[in-house]
Chains A and B, each alone.
Chain A
Amino acid sequence: MNQVSEAITSVFGIVLLAAIGYELRRRRKRLRELYNVLDHDDVAVIADLDTLLKEGSLKQYVPEFEFSEVVSR
């Protein structure tokens, strides 16, 4: 009887660890998708962006206006 309960506990333990490992991997994968460090796949993308910059067809974003502080003489 003892052996059966130990076996059941072990099985549940293994399943729990596997579930934690799976969840950890899934969440990390999601984070890597979200915050992606530039890698070999992105080299061509950056090169295209550089080309656009050199052609002058990319415009730098500038806010339309900003409130200055009170000017005093």
Chain B
Amino acid sequence: MTENKTPKPAASKGRGRILKTRPRAEAESLETSTASTTQEPLKTAPPVVAKTEESNAHPARFQFFLIDSGWDGAAARVIRQNLRMITQLQNHDPFYVLTRSQSNEILRKHPHLIGKDPILLVRDIHGARATGDSQYHGFHLNLGIIQKPEQALEVLQTFVNFLAVHRRSADIDQIVRQKLHRDGLEGAVEVLRGGSEALI
């Protein structure tokens, strides 16, 4: 009897679907901007950007901050379940999730935000750089004012869609006013026609 065994190719070892883990960014690895410290820190502080592995391929346009004090609401559940989608669809721009204590501290200091969280605050890094002015640029989605989960998801999707579509726009603040706030005559018609946002 002759054994007819053929040796398995070594290459098959590396084939197939693998579970690739990505290194979690350490707090120590945060690269603080070395740009000049300013006389008016409230107005002119440059955005602090963490270096990510994707940053070389796609320069970050936005910085995301999630302020979530822990309300057990439909909107909070929706955003917690879809964090991954948001980061992936935004080219892995820096996304910072505040802990409950950090969120509560922010809300205590700024009580006008209470009841509006979870808040997805988007800082437009490019806006400050492009205009060179001293103001912060960006906007926030106050998801906490939405009561129904399906509406919360729809609003979140609209917001993510908007950011993805307009991420190369020079003045995104203006586009927010036009497209999301429905300013102007055209916007008025849209509002009266009853877009999805008008159902809120």
Beyond known contacts A49-B106, A63-B83: 7 more, CB 8 A cutoff: A20-B192, A34-B141, A37-B138, A49-B96, A67-B17, A72-B15, A73-B11
Say whether B142 contacts A53, CB under 8 Å: no
Say whether A28 contacts B140, CB under 8 Å: no
Pick from B17, B65, B94, B191: contact of A28, CB below 8 A. Answer: B191
Say whether A49 contacts B95, CB under 8 Å: no
Knowing A31-B180, A38-B138, the reply to whether A60 touches B96 (Cβ < 8 A) is yes
List, sorted by A's number, 23 A–B pairs whose CB atoms are closer than 8 Å.
Answer: A24-B191, A27-B182, A28-B187, A31-B182, A34-B141, A34-B143, A34-B197, A36-B141, A37-B176, A38-B136, A38-B138, A41-B110, A43-B136, A44-B110, A45-B109, A59-B25, A59-B96, A61-B96, A61-B97, A65-B19, A71-B14, A71-B15, A72-B15
Which residues on B sit within 8 Å (CB–CB) of A41?
110, 112
Which residues on B sit within 8 Å (CB–CB) of A50?
45, 47-48
Interface string of A26-63 (1 = CB under 8 A from B): 01101111111110011111111110111011111111
State how many residues of chain B have any CB contact under 8 Å with chain A: 71
Say whether B98 contacts A58, CB under 8 Å: yes
Q: A29 CB to closest chain B CB, in angstroms?
A: 10
Interface positions, chain B 39-95, Cβ under 8 Å from A, are 41-43, 45, 47-48, 50, 52, 65-66, 83-84, 87-88, 94-95
Say whether B27 contacts A62, CB under 8 Å: no
Which residues on A sit within 8 Å (CB–CB) of B17?
67-68, 70
